[in-house]
Amino acid sequence: MQDVLGPTLRLIRLPHGEGVELPAYETRGAAGMDLKAAVGENEPLVIAPGRRALVPTGFIFEIADGFEGQVRPRSGLAFKHGITCLNTPGTVDSDYRGEVKVLLINHGDEDFAVTRGMRIAQMLITPVVQARIVEATQASETARGAGGFGSTGV
């Protein structure tokens, strides 16, 4: 995978991200780079059951034109603790210059403490295109027509 040259991702470290490891692909073929929590060293962010929290990553991500960042949950956190991303997949626009944050929700039945450096989610860099938006008066004909939501059987 790493033989395939992807776009450059510039990361601007914010003061509270000082010392936090860069997001990284954990294995050679990993689709997503793991994002780490930039919460205070002695201030874990505790998410109670049923609650949500915006977790800082400590970085501005300058995503190349023509790409987006998709913030997705980590399956291990979901399986073991019921922790997932509420807005999955989160969309990080290429023109966004604020800090990337991860919106976690606790679907488990115990408090979950997010500690500094914890790998909380993953980000995929994915190509996007913008459509040319045109209003029309009639839909074109197709074999499917208006059939959907199980119209071809289950």
Binding-site entries for substrate: 74-76, 87, 91-93
Cα–Cα distance for residue pair 86/106, rounded to 1 Å: 9
Q: Which of 48, 76, 91, 113 binds ligand DUT (CB under 6 A)?
A: 91
3-class secondary-structure state, position 15 = helix
Quickly tell me which residue has 């919106």 as its tokens.
103
Stretch of 8-16, 72-80, 99-107, 129-137 contacting ligand DUT, by CB under 6 A: 99-107
Residue number with the smallest Cβ distance to ligand DUT: 90
Rounded to a whole number of angstroms, the minimum distance from the CB of residue 67 to ligand DUT is 12
What does each C-alpha distance from 23 to 4, 13, 20, 76, 152 come to in angstroms? 19, 11, 9, 17, 43
71 lies in the binding site for ligand DUT (CB under 6 A): yes
DSSP element (H, E) containing 76: helix 75-81
Q: Which of 101, 105, 112, 116 binds ligand DUT (CB under 6 A)?
A: 101
Stretch of 3-11, 42-50, 95-103, 109-117 contacting ligand DUT, by CB under 6 A: 95-103
Tokens of 104: 């976690």
Nearer to ligand DUT, 69 or 108 (CB): 69
Rounded to a whole number of angstroms, the minimum distance from the CB of residue 147 to ligand DUT is 31
Number of helices and strands (H, E) in the chain? 1, 10
